[in-house]
């Protein structure tokens, strides 16, 4: 059992380091490349809503709505990236707080890195958004873990 646990930790460590590399690569994108990618994501969301809800919006309206949701999509992506990072580090260390601290510290280095990328800026606000994502994911893990242990305790007493 111990070797399986160690194997899981090693896998989580490799995945966490790979995920950090992916975050680094996203942050290394110039501003216009990053904007183009998030606009594409927004466009996909708006097109899906347009089709699913049978809105019949013309392409100009789709573009307009895609631009409106661009900022929230970017921030949600940031929070999700760091939530996944915290989740992976939790798998390595089994500590909510250590996973959150690592995500926070990496967010700080990521924003510092962006100071050197054309058109990008390091922003404390983004560190807070990233860390909020890590906290949210760890809160979900804690709630699910608490719920499962309560369920197991009830099941074992009956």
pLDDT by residue (tens digit) across 50-100?
999 999 999 999 999 988 998 898 899 999 999 999 999 999 999 999 999
Per-residue pLDDT at 61: 92
What's the gap between Cα 46 and its chain centre? 21
What is the predicted pLDDT for the residue at 31?
82
d(CA 75, CA 83): 12
For the stretch 119-158, pLDDT in tens is: 999 999 999 999 999 999 999 999 998 887 778 777 777 6
Q: State the pTM of this model.
A: 0.85
44 in the Ramachandran plot: left (φ > 0), alpha (ψ -120 to 50) or beta? alpha
Segments making up each domain of the chain, as ranges? 2-30+78-157
């Amino acid at each position: 059992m111990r070797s399986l646990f160690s194997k899981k930790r090693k896998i989580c460590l490799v995945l966490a380091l790979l995920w950090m590399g992916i975050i680094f690569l996203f942050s290394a994108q110039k501003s216009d490349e990053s904007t183009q990618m998030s606009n594409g994501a927004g466009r996909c969301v708006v097109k899906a809503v347009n089709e699913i809800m049978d809105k019949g919006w013309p392409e100009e309206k789709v573009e307009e709505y895609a631009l409106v949701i661009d900022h929230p999509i970017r921030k949600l992506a940031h929070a999700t990236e760091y939530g996944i990072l915290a989740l992976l580090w939790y798998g390595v260390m089994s500590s909510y707080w250590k996973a959150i601290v690592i995500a926070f510290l990496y967010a700080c280095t990521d924003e510092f890195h962006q100071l050197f990328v054309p058109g990008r800026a390091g922003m404390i606000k983004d560190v807070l958004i990233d860390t909020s994502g890590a906290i949210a994911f760890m809160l979900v893990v804690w709630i699910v873990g608490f719920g499962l242990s309560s369920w197991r305790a009830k099941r074992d007493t009956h």
